[in-house]
Structure 1
Amino acid sequence: MKIGVVHFGSFTTGITEIIRTLINEKNDDIVSLYGIEWNRQSDGIEVRELHKVALDKAQYTSEAILNSFPEHKWTIQNSNKLQPLSEFDTVIVFGGKNHQIDLPYHNILFIPVSIFNDIEDSSYSLGYDSALNTIYNSIEKIRDTASSLLYGRLRVFPIQVPGNEFTPLIEDTALAVNSPFVKKVDEQAISNIKEAILEKNSRNETYMFIIMDYSIDHQSLEKSISKDLLIDWKVMSISESQCVGPYPTARDQVSMRKVSQTLLELIRNGIEPGQLNFQGNKLFFKKNNLIGGNVNVN
């Protein structure tokens, strides 16, 4: 059985650990595992076998086991250059927004990986809890500094969280740090922020956070608010690269083990195209838009 592996760069630490488990525990007499990368010089797919020698070399040289695939190359328009995918019995795809495009190759097994927890049909995506905790800790460090300073007016910290659209990461971050969030700049959002500022002033508090993604025009928001209220406005940004560090949270560690165990079981039983989905704490295999054999890993 010839299995390819693609990943789109999100939650690299977790994906690397899953690939390492597959390499170490698969039956080498039955299964061959190949990394699928994009060669920028030839502008095409490059394939290399993933085996224990390659794993040992990667660990020794501190190189990546598998380089991330540029998502903008994973398109219908580029399907002729993706033709080598058809040579595999199954291609395991970790993450990516374009995984569901109608490529002429029907051998894809998709794994939900996203720091935004925005994968359709899956209640959870690998990397989300690690990203959320990283953002939370970053904001708490800002809180430690802000709470120790007296400025004479309320200090407002718009916190730019990764992403260019509203995702669960915005709302959950706001809940975690007990702060308002902005979904879009409109009269309602401006009114809500003004109300929150007035409440902070009434309590003689010295700072507040506003959570938003990178698509929000924070300058326009500041202009609308500061014309009526005396505030100090200081934008803080958290990048996506900060959210994919080397230390996954316990929840992501558990989820990684579940995915690894499920993939090994699917490989033993004859892996098929489809998608792994989290529903609560359980992992299910969805085949061809229909629920196939359910695999629960406790």
Structure 2
Amino acid sequence: MAQKIKNIAVLTSGGDAPGMNAAIRAVVRACSYYKVNCFGVYKGYEGLINNELEELNARSVRNIINKGGTFLKSARSKTFRTVEGRQKAHANLVKNNIDALVVIGGDGSFTGALKLSEEFNFPVVGVPGTIDNDINGTDYTIGYDTALNTVVDAIDKIRDTASSHNRLFLIEVMGRDAGDIALNSGIGAGAEEILIPEEDMGVERLIESLKKSKTTGKTSSIIVVAEGDTSGKNIFELGQYVENNLEGYEVRVSVLGHIQRGGTPSCFDRVLASKLGVGAVEALLDNKREVMIGIVHKKVTIVPLVDALKKRVHKHDKLIKVADITSV
């Protein structure tokens, strides 16, 4: 392993995701294993601009693998979007003798990492951490599995009330551009209908489908809606439309919101985060830069950051068919 790097910094940026702590832990302990110094950057890129760095060792990250969120904190930095902000961030990296940076986050975080690398010829590696599972070049992102389990658990509880009162519940889950959470949690929780950004079902088709379900004897229904679905201006307007055009149901709306980001990470996310964190350090020590560490067919892979930032092509046809068949 060609090792020239002596000091690596790690930060978490953008929305938090369960498993980020496990990824930080893996980066820090991989650095310790390979005799490299590791520095944690607090509050993402904003902390880098404000020089909020602290040296970490293997004991600094004990007992965090099971905790949600990120102990390094996260923030969205408007200043880092400017050339001046990135110049200040780079100056602090140089001042602290940092040789490379690991960025744990989503597409916005990776965009910033790529700009930092391109403008200052600085080695950067990304680790995909977002519950939306919307990063190109990896089958799974850190936090996605935990979020799915959180959503399914919530829908299971809501279904108890729906069944008790003959109600129809519209449940909004996260996913502005990607329907992965809605589609998979909807199937897992037995939803009658699933609305995702990639498929324009249309309100009329939705009403017809619900009417058909009612004629088959269903007395309650669960509809899972990704936040990026455009069937209505918002889920509350959609709920009102359904209530006005469908007799026999009381319609209720539940927005799960940020509950999906929290909680103890699943075993899958802990293992995934550990693999990707170690992979990030090893990639840097192998002189890789401007790349993301992903996982494809259970194998850790290295993907150029520019490719990771390309719009992901979602192929949901098979899952949509499964949803249609199992919801009759």
TM-score (norm 1): 0.79
The AA in structure 2 aligned to 1:217 is N
Deviations 1:119-140 (A, max 9, x none): 1222211111111111011101
Deviations 1:223-261 (A, max 9, x none): 433333223110112122443312x22322331232244
Partner of 1:37: 42
Partner of 1:172: 184
Correspondence 1:51 to 2:57: yes
Q: For this pair of structures, how many residues does the alignment match?
A: 282
Secondary structure of 2:237's counterpart equals helix
Partner of 2:11: 6
Q: Distance in 2 between matches of 1:238 and 1:159?
A: 7
Partner of 1:83: 90
Q: Distance in 2 between matches of 1:42 and 1:284?
A: 27
Partner of 1:140: 156
**CA gap 1:264/1:228 in 2 versus in 1, 3 angstroms:** closer
Deviations 1:242-294 (A, max 9, x none): 43312x22322331232244235335545644111221211111356589xxx
Q: Distance in 1 between matches of 2:147 and 2:26?
A: 23
Q: Distance in 1 between matches of 2:263 and 2:16?
A: 8
Secondary structure of 2:194's counterpart equals coil
Partner of 1:251: 268
Which residues of 2 match residues 200-215 of structure 1 at below 5 A? 200-214=213-227
Kindly report the root-mean-square deviation, in angstroms, between the aligned alpha carbons of the 2 structures. Answer: 3.4
Partner of 2:254: 236
Q: Distance in 1 between matches of 2:289 and 2:157?
A: 46
Which residues of 2 match residues 87-126 of structure 1 at below 5 A? 87=94, 88-98=98-108, 99-101=110-112, 102-103=115-116, 104-105=119-120, 106-126=122-142
Q: Distance in 2 between matches of 1:100 and 1:205?
A: 47
Give, in angstroms, the shift of residue 69 of structure 1.
Answer: 3.5
Correspondence 1:219 to 2:229: no
Structure whose residues are more often helix by fraction = 2
Q: Distance in 1 between matches of 2:301 and 2:222?
A: 38
Secondary structure of 1:81's counterpart equals helix
The AA in structure 2 aligned to 1:82 is A
Q: Distance in 2 between matches of 1:279 and 1:85?
A: 35
Partner of 1:70: 76
**CA gap 1:42/1:91 in 2 versus in 1, 3 angstroms:** closer
Deviations 1:150-169 (A, max 9, x none): 44xxx211101124444322
The AA in structure 1 aligned to 2:189 is V
Partner of 1:191: 204
CA contact (8 A) 2:128 2:293 kept: yes
Secondary structure of 2:88's counterpart equals coil
Q: Kindly indicate whether structure 1 or structure 2 has the higher relative contact order, using CA contacts under 8 Å at least 6 residues apart.
A: 2
Secondary structure of 2:295's counterpart equals strand
CA contact (8 A) 1:85 1:91 kept: no
Q: Distance in 2 between matches of 1:58 and 1:227?
A: 49
**CA gap 1:111/1:75 in 2 versus in 1, 3 angstroms:** same
